[in-house]
Chains A and B, each alone.
Chain A
Amino acid sequence: MSRWAKFLMAVLLGAAAGLFYGWVVNPVEYVDIAPESLREDYKTDYVLMVGEAYQAEHDLGLAVRRLALLGSSAPSDIVANALSYGLQHEYAYQDLSVLQLLGEALLTWNPNQEVPTP
């Protein structure tokens, strides 16, 4: 085996070791994540909480601001995704109803009146 082949082999072995260390042993840790990085079930529960809070507070602007933490998608889309997830995973009827009511309320929401501030 030529010297270059050995050198290349050493580079590849080193890279493999580096990847193993960087991805498995000591991967980048995100300890200060935003809600949009939450797992799907946690996101859905977050949206459900927004819906429950909306039922108590009747503040649609506040609900939109809370939903804005879940990403740049339209609030109605975020709720629709949550509702879809809830249907797939057989959430309780009351929870689905809360999501449905929030989604319906958002249909009347005018984004020109309030700008969500994440």
Chain B
Amino acid sequence: MKNDRRGSWYLLTGAVLGVALGLIYSWVINPVEYVDAPPYALRADFKDEYRALVAASYLYSNDLLRAEDRLAQLKDDETAQTVAMQAQRALAEGHPEGEVRALGILAMALSDSMLPLASSVASTQKTINTPTTSASTSTPIIQQPTASPDISQQATPAQKSTTPALQLTDTAEPASTATSIPTQEAAYLLKETKLLCNLDQTEPMIQVEVQDTAGEPVPSIELVVTWDVGEDRFYTGLKPELSLGYADFLMTPGVVYSLRLADGGQTVKDLTAAECLSDDGSRYWGSWMLTFIQP
């Protein structure tokens, strides 16, 4: 009996030793080599390089289908948003302007391809969850917005020649003249200023939507907000789940702000936090919604 038990133990020891040797050989000495890897296995920074390269090649070929096929190899969840976010990161991290521009153009092209052209404006407005301003539910207390209501009429031809944030035409560009690509000659003008009253959004904010000539949202636009003792900058496209052309800034009540696009154009002055009145008489902060559009 004693000899039998010892026999089973040495067999088990041999098997364990064999497994250990096998694992050492297969994991350490001679592991599986991935020499035919697909792009989705790339490291994150190489994926960024890959996307930037897809964007740069798109500038040459203007072949959106091919660009989409190439990006699909990365298996990103939301291709357009991923490209837009990379454009934002590249802009914030000071990457070369050409790279940012290429990514921005590709992001716009991808977002255009996902939206029906005829309803794109309506879709954009819907996705940014524009609060209702119905008098039956809530009422702005300030009837006359402090943002210059006639500022669009102040635009002069000279102002139109200012350079937009995305200078898309001074270097290589797609062969076709896609209408969604802003041109250097056309600055963004303020189309609409309105106070939004939304009980779900009670912090005073400056919300901005920038659209191109086709009414499509434009990412990577730098916005400058200034007040008496400070200045801050923010960008469209950082909340792609709302809209690629959307940006917002949280206001401090009592402070008067001015807002403009970083590369010139109109300045919207006298923006202050404004109150709204709900049905039950309570007051809450509204948000200014400024829509800039490329003429």
Contact = CB atoms under 8 A, between A and B. Distances in A.
Interface of A: 3, 6-23, 27-28, 30-35, 37-40, 42, 45-46, 48-50, 52-53, 55-58, 66, 69
A12 B24 CA distance: 14
A37 B35 contact: yes
A66 B49 contact: yes
Contacts of B7: 3, 6
A15 B19 CA distance: 4
Contact-residue bracket for chain B: 35 or more
A14 B14 contact: yes
Interface of B: 7, 10-27, 31-32, 34-39, 41-44, 46, 49-50, 53-54, 56-57, 59-61, 70, 73, 98, 171-172
Contacts, number: 153
A101 B279 CA distance: 69
Given A33-B34, A49-B70, A7 B14 contact: yes
Given A6-B11, A69-B46, 5 more contacts: A28-B31, A42-B37, A42-B73, A56-B59, A69-B49
Grouping DSSP codes into helix (H, G, I), strand (E, B) and loop, the A interface class, with mixed when no group exceeds half, is helix
Contacts of A18: 18-26
B169 to A, nearest CB: 13
B41 A33 contact: yes
A9 B14 CA distance: 8
16 contacts: A6-B10, A7-B11, A11-B21, A15-B22, A16-B22, A18-B21, A18-B22, A22-B27, A33-B37, A35-B49, A37-B35, A38-B36, A48-B57, A56-B56, A56-B57, A57-B98
A45 B56 CA distance: 13
Given A17-B18, A28-B32, A66-B49, A49 B56 contact: yes
